[in-house]
Amino acid sequence: MEKVLQITKVESYIISLMGKFPVLSYYANTRGWSFLITWGHRLAGLTLVGYMFAHIYTLSLLFSPAGFDADMKFLHNFVFSFLEWCVAIPLIFHSLNGGRLILYELFHVRAEEIVIRFMIILGLIYIFIVGFFFIEEAQQISATLFWSITVTVSLIACFIILFKIWVTDNSILWKLQRITGAFMFPMLIGHMFFMHMNYLTGHDSKTILERIQSPFIKGMDLVFIVLLLFHAGYGLFSIIADYIKPGLLLKSLTFLVIIVMAISAFFGIRIVFAL
């Protein structure tokens, strides 16, 4: 018999606080916390899609370094820094919950309580570390070394999932969604760390332009853009397909998602090549 995991006092307190929100309490009692986690995953993903579009737009400002620096200087305040830090919350939730789903789907890890607890602990540690970097703004590290390590970890995760998932009967797009998710899990976390270890790393045009001249960094950015936009596009399609019946409307929205992601990929790739 599987041992039942005991809820700690801290977890019980967090659940009681969440239960005080009428909407959360209603769905938790009628459909269960798994339903809320699923929708939390989707809402976090939609938030990250918005952040991705904003990020591509911000990179386009680098064509005018003086203007980029002026905008970054204007945004360098507590409110904007706090909002940037808040992005770590949907990022870590979406990433770690995606890892939980992969463990469940491919490796048949059924002890979800343990995985969720592990996800919460890692998430809190990650968020506080990122918050420390925001405050400290004094960390230095070689971009090539940092991303070499991160890419290696991402490729290992990617190939583990690839060999496990490719023999299944799922669709090719479903497989690619999991594979790209496994690859981007370390990459997105690495991106959040690296961009905020030092203010100049992600907010100074000269520092960014010097870094992106490296063929390795440029190639990594191109791959990252393509995989990220595919993952985001298929995620949007999955949400739409769950609520719209097959027909003209579904085909039209699917086509719209493809067009938006293709245009975004075009501009993202163009920016990386041109800088």
Task: State the Cα angle at 34 between 28 and 40, rounded to 5°.
Answer: 90
Q: H or E element: which one contains 242?
A: helix 215-243
pLDDT band at 111 (very low <50, low <70, confident <90, very high): low
For residues 205 and 209, give the distance between their C-alpha atoms in angstroms, rounded to a whole number: 6
pLDDT at 3: 46
pLDDT at 11: 57
- Among 37-41, 130-134, 159-163, 197-201, the minimum mean pLDDT is found in 130-134
- More confident of the two residues 145 and 173: 173
**Mean predicted confidence (pLDDT) in 132-157:** 73
For residues 147 and 215, give the distance between their C-alpha atoms in angstroms, rounded to a whole number: 12
- More confident of the two residues 54 and 261: 261
For residues 86 and 127, give the distance between their C-alpha atoms in angstroms, rounded to a whole number: 8
Number of residues assigned to the chain: 275
Which residues have a Cβ under 8 Å from the Cβ of 24 and sit 6 or more positions away? 18, 36
pLDDT band at 13 (very low <50, low <70, confident <90, very high): low
- What percentage of residues in the chain have a pLDDT greater than 70? 77
Which residues have a Cβ under 8 Å from the Cβ of 119 and sit 6 or more positions away? 93, 96, 97, 99, 100
**Mean predicted confidence (pLDDT) in 205-221:** 86
Cβ neighbour number for residue 184 with a 10 Å cutoff: 22
Q: What share of the chain is helix, strand, coil (3-state, %, to 5)?
A: 85, 0, 15
pLDDT at 2: 42
For residues 265 and 75, give the distance between their C-alpha atoms in angstroms, rounded to a whole number: 26
